Each structure stands twice: as structure tokens, then as C-alpha cells.
Amino acid sequence: METNSFRVVDFATARAQELKLLREQVKSLGGKKQLFQSLPWHLRRRTMSHQTCRLPKKWKKKTQDIENKPSIGKNKCRKYRRKVKYLRENLKSRLSRQNRLETHLWFAKRFHMIPYFGYQVPWCSVDRKERSAYRALRDRVVIYDASLVDWILLEDTQLNIVKGLFKVLETEQEKKLVEQPEFLLGKAVLHTFVERNEYNSEATILQVIWAPRNGLNDNEICKVLVCIPFLGSHEARDTFIYSVFGQVFKRKTLALNRFHVLGPKSLAMIRRCFQIKEEDGSYLRKEENGMPNQVDNTPGFHMGFPHFCPFSERQKDASCDWLEDFERWMIEETWNSNVAKESCQIPVVLISRPFQSSSGNSIGRWDILIPSGLGASFLHAARHMGAQAIGLKEYRKIFFECEKLHFPEDFPQSTFFKDIVVRNACENLEALFKKPPAKRGSNQLPFSVFPPLWNQIGKSPMEAVPIWHSMKNRLLQIANYCDSSQALSLMQHLKSCSYWSEDALWKNPILRNLDYETLVPVFIELIGKGKVSSYAPFFLPGDQDASLFSTFKKSSQMQGRKLVGYITQTSYSFAKGCICCIGYIFSIHQTGEWQPIIVPRTIDFAEFIPAKCRKLNTEFLFDF
């Protein structure tokens, strides 16, 4: 037989199984046929009108049974659906469902719902605008907590939980509902609106779900799911839980924190939070005769390490300028609070920046930098960029990954960064310009300095010396308030001041008109990484070195420092116009254990920090 021909019988036999499967597939995808379609061919024409009266007698009864089945029907028009009667019926139908909350419709549109204790509860937000928020978090430094709801799992005896609920319930009807077996057995949900009282400072909606169980026993350990939405801060939630149910509960948060980003347009809100009066930039750059200076492109250098100092939240007089506010804070405001426990801190940087007048004479100016925002780029901005800050993305690349990065022309050319700039700047620009402008993308643009997030106060050396002397006295006061061990540790921090210059990364402080003791940092806190994927290194306290300017592996090997672990998650709590607490999830490198570290930012919230977390906070200092 020729190779270019085949027999039909052999072909069909070889593929009989395939044809059989194809036939079954086509037959199954045909769908359900109507009754008239199953009639013989010669009877189908009479029944194409779907009228049961024209069917044969033997088919009429079956057809009537099919037509009498209830149909779903189409939705009513919008005009009918907006009627009050329809809305009430719709609300009753939703409330009649046992596994849904009253706010289910609102949460279902914005959250991922999961079953818990037989109910559908919101777990995490799926709002699309958060994608842009996380994307902006890489380039911006100011974030705040925007959690809308928090679910807390409480475990305690039935008697203690009921007593705690009695504290917040006001009406007798709600108190009777709590005692009913239907609620205690997990078959009913408590919905109530809690007014402001001695136990909670803000009005809120309270929802309580009891875990299903078989019998009632006052001494039985029960699980209760408490929902406290719209409190605005985790501190208000914790205050409410501790005041109502006590501190003996094994509380476990079920919902993750959701962060939103404040861009440059929203920084006015942060300025209002700190009660800082914004001044015109031209006013800060004037000579004694009132003529503005022409800023030279020669980069300035830092005369000291950033100082993290407590900042007062009091309302300041609008007539005072920035320097008066700063001096009054340093001299007067700090005496009114317990500064030994105060940990609400902001970095203050003193730099020397050369100015060049119109006549060509160079005039040395001192700039006191007070930040306008909060974020991890403070360390970077204070060490390198002077009066300008960058985002977390560039911060992560420089300090932890050392990826290719194009620095601006006015970037301080240190010995460490010279090789990086020379090697990578041309490569990045050439690769960028090869692509059309429409295909470059914002993530592939060269490194550009973020708009200034620092408020400059231009002063002469003689005007800046008293401010730094007052800061030194204030820090010594803090050391005296501490006990012997803490004072010794604090004084070690005061003596280990370092700074950056063009010659080397870290040297002993060298000042022209200021002595050694005037530049004294309290301690340097790691502000966290937000939602950045890479890990931030966490070392034991030691001498100042160049660990931040290289990868954590390289620095730990060179300096011989012990690598403790990584900070993998960070939580910011925003209340009363400032960040109140920063929580870290600390992963120990050797054992793989996870430990929480909560740093109170104000003394008002320090008492609500668990004792275990406070102990970790004192043992592991955030020091570089």
C-alpha cells in the first residue's frame, strides 16, 4: 500500500474511542431540551409555539407540571426597588439570614468575607485604591493607619465576659439579650451602639459573636469575637477592650493593618498635627540687608548626626515663628512632662550650607532641619540629602540591597558612593534613553529627589550655638532621671556621636565653633520598612559604624557584630494627630521565633503596652 493513502476502515477503528468520547461530549453539551423537542419529528411542527393545548394528550400533563414550577423572574425596575416598602422587605430578608451581620452588604463590597463561628465576617480589604497606596508607599515616607474594622478574639469564662458586656450596655433590653441562652450558645449576634462613657472615650458600634457550643456553664472557657469598627486608632480599641474586659484575656487580632499614604498635598495635615507654622522659603534665605541669597550648587555637609528629640503637641501661638517655637519647646515645654518616659521623637539636624551672595562673597549659614513628615527616609535624608528626603524604595536600595541607582548631580560624592555613581549612572541612563518615552515607565526613571520634606531655619553659628547648648542640657536632664544602668547606656550613646563628611563615612565630630559635647543624640530608632518586601537588619547595640551603607551580611562580617534578626512587619498607630505606637514583628535569626516589639510614642499609651513587649523594648535598643 502506498504511503500517501490510507484505508477508511483502519482509520475509523483506530479512532473509535475518540469518536465515542466526542459523541458523548457533544451530547452532554446540548443542554436540557424542552418537552416539545423530545417529540417525534412529525409532531414537532405543531408544538413549536410552546402552547400546551396543542400538544398530544399524553404530553399535556407533563408540560403543565413544568410550567407550574416557580421561576426566578427578572429584577424589578429601579423605581420599584427604591420604594420604601421594597427596601423594608429587602432589609428584613437580609436580617433573617442567620449567617450574616447587619453590615454585611457594606463589608461585602469592600472586604474579603470569611466564615467564622458560622458567620460571614470581613477579613481584609480588597479596595482597589489601596494598590496605589502601597505603590506610593515605595516613594513616599508619610503613612497612617486606615483600618476600618478590627475583629478581636477573646478567650475567658462566660461569667467574666458577661460582666464585661454589662459595663457598656445601657438598656435593660440589651442586658436581657446577653443573658439569653440563644446568644450564649452562638445562635444570635449582639448589635449595639455604645455611647461615650467612663469605659470608652469615643462612641462606636459594637458587635459580639459567641462561638457555638452545646451547654451553658459559667466557668467554661469560651471564645467571643468582638468587632469594633470606626474607632480611628488601635489605641482606642485597646483602651476599650482593657477597660471593659480586663487585661487577662488572650486577645488575638484577626484583621491586618491597612495603610494609606499621605502624599505631598497631604503634608499640611501633618504640619497641623505638630502645630508648626509654615514660613515662606524666601524668608529663610535672606541676608541681613533683606536681599535674598543665591544658593550655590556646592553641596553642604552635615555637622552632626540626626538628633531624635521629643516634640510637644501643645497648641502654639500663631504669632511665633519657627525658631521661637523650637526654642520654647527646648526650654519650657519639656519641663511640663515626664521626659524620662517620653518617646515621641523627631529628628533635628544641624547642617552647614554655603551660600553665595550677589557680590560673590561666600557666606556660611547654619540650617536647623525640622521634618515635616514621618518615615524611614529620615535617616537617609539626615545623613546625605541635607534638606531633602527620599522615599522608602531608594532607602531600601541604598541601605539593604545596593542595587543600581542613579544619583543626582548634587549628591554628596563620598568615597563609598563614588564607585557606584560612576559605574551605574551611565548604564542606567543609556538603557533608559534606548526606549521610547511612552515605554519607559515611571519605575524605570532615574533617581530623582523627592520634594523637600524638611523645614529649614537658616541661622548664623552664633545664633545656633545656644540652641544646641540647651539641647545638651536637656539630654543630660534625661540621663539624670534614669537609673544607673540606663544612665550609663544613655551616656554611651551621648559619647558615640558620629557624622558624615566628604572624606569618610564616619568620624569623630569636628566642629568649628561648637565643642564635642554639643552634638549628642539620644538614640536612633529604626522607623521600620512599611510594606517593602526586603528585610531591615536588626543588630545588637554597639559602636557606630557604616553598617547602613552596605548590605547587612557584609557589615556584620566586617565589623564582627552579632546579627540578631530581622524586622519583618511594621504597624503604625495614628491618633491625636501623631503616631502613638510603632509595633514591630521581630524574627530571631537563629531560633526562627517571632517576638512582638511595641514602641510607645507618647506616655499616654505606654501603660497599655503588654509587659512582655515592654521588656523586649528595653533589652533590644534600636541603635546603629
pLDDT of residue 212: 80
pLDDT for the residue numbered 326: 38
Q: Out of 22-31, 310-319, 578-587, give the one with best mean pLDDT.
A: 22-31
What number is the average pLDDT over the span 488-494?
34
Domain assignment present for 528: no
Backbone phi and psi for residue 404, each to the nearest 5 degrees, phi listed first: -65, 130
Do 251 and 297 lie in one domain? The reply is no
Burial class (CB in 10 A: 0-12, 13-18, 19+), 381: buried
207 forms beta bridges with 191, 227
- Mean pLDDT of the chain, nearest integer: 48
How many domains does the structure of the chain reveal? 4
Q: What is the mean pLDDT of residues 569-583?
A: 34
Comparing 452 with 316, the larger pLDDT belongs to: 316
pTM: 0.28
Amino acid at 443: N
Max avg pLDDT among 266-280, 460-474, 504-518: 460-474
**Residue finishing a domain among 67, 86, 113:** 67
| 188-202, 306-320, 501-515: the lowest-pLDDT one | 501-515
Note whether 313 and 228 are same-domain residues.
no
- Confidence label for 92 from pLDDT (cuts 50, 70 and 90): confident
Q: Give me 346's grid cell.
A: 523627631
The answer to whether residue 267 sits within a structural domain is no
Asked if residue 12 has pLDDT above 80, the reply is: no
pLDDT digits (tens, 9 = 90+) for 397-407: 433 333 333 33
- How many residues are listed for the chain in this entry? 624
User: Residue 402: its pLDDT value, please?
Assistant: 34
> How far apart, in whole angstroms, are the C-alpha atoms of residue 168 and residue 135?
41
DSSP letter (8 states) at residue 527: -
Q: Highest mean pLDDT: which of 218-222, 308-312, 589-593?
A: 218-222
At residue 5 the predicted structure's pLDDT band, cuts being 50, 70 and 90, is low
Q: Are residues 40 and 123 in the same domain?
A: no
Domain stop point among 413, 441, 467: 467
348 against 539, higher pLDDT: 348
Q: Does some domain include residue 13?
A: yes
Which of 420, 440, 467 is where one domain is finished?
A: 467
Q: Please report whether residue 49 resides in a domain.
A: yes
pLDDT > 80? residue 88: no
Q: Which of 46-60, 177-191, 242-256: highest mean pLDDT?
A: 177-191
Average the pLDDT over 569-592 and give the result. Answer: 37
For residue 580, the enclosing domain spans 536-619
Question: What beta strand segments (E) does 69-110 contain?
Answer: none
**441 and 549 inside one domain:** no
User: What is the distance between the alpha carbons of residues 379 and 386, in angstroms, rounded to a whole number?
Assistant: 11
Interval 416-451: pLDDT, tens: 333 333 344 445 545 655 666 566 544 433 332 222
Q: Who wins on pLDDT, 330 or 154? A: 154
Q: What is the mean pLDDT of residues 303-326?
A: 31
Mean pLDDT of 303-331: 32
- Whether 268 has a pLDDT exceeding 70, the answer reads no
For residue 322, is pLDDT > 80?
no
Identify the pLDDT of residue 11. 72
In a domain? residue 3 = no
Check residue 49 and give its pLDDT.
55
Within a domain: 84: no
CA atoms within 13 A on the CB side of 163: 10
d(CA 537, CA 547): 9
